[in-house]
Amino acid sequence: MQIHYWAVIGAAIANVAVGALWYGPVFGKQWRKMMGFTEADMKNMPLTPAQAIAGGVVTALVMAFVLSQIAPQGISATTLAFWPWLGFVMPVQASSWLWEGKSFKLFAFNAVESLVSLCVMASVLTLA
């Protein structure tokens, strides 16, 4: 199977961009409220913003690479995004609601972001 490294990098960048927008200017205030974070809490996170972004880039590269490996020729981006999300991402995220006492609203918020992000990543990969 041939790997389109530029597509993998582009998909990873798209993933980071979606997350930055989703948890930043678009829905950041709502997310912080659901998490119970104050501005002071945000400034006292264990990782610096640069460290968190670097970690996010690494995890996005892993996800984009794996998506590129499981994508059969001719698959639609929606199909490529939806089934891994439904079978793997969403159930793992559900643990925050089921076992960690987080709200269903927060779980749904994060799960929808993951689906949107996977759809964008899959679009980049399938267009390559």
Domain of residue 88, residue span: 5-127
End-to-end CA distance of the chain: 14
Residue 1 is predicted with a pLDDT of: 63
Question: For 73, which DSSP code?
Answer: T
Look-up of token digits 């670097």: 54
pLDDT at 67 over 80: yes
Residues 6+ apart with CB under 8 A from 77: 119, 122, 123, 125, 126, 127
Reported as a single tens digit per residue, the pLDDT across 8-27 is: 999 999 999 999 999 999 99
Q: Provide the whole-model pTM.
A: 0.90
- Chain mean pLDDT for the chain: 94
User: Contact 32/126 with Cβ under 8 angstroms?
Assistant: no
User: Contact 68/119 with Cβ under 8 angstroms?
Assistant: no
Q: What domain count does the chain have?
A: 1
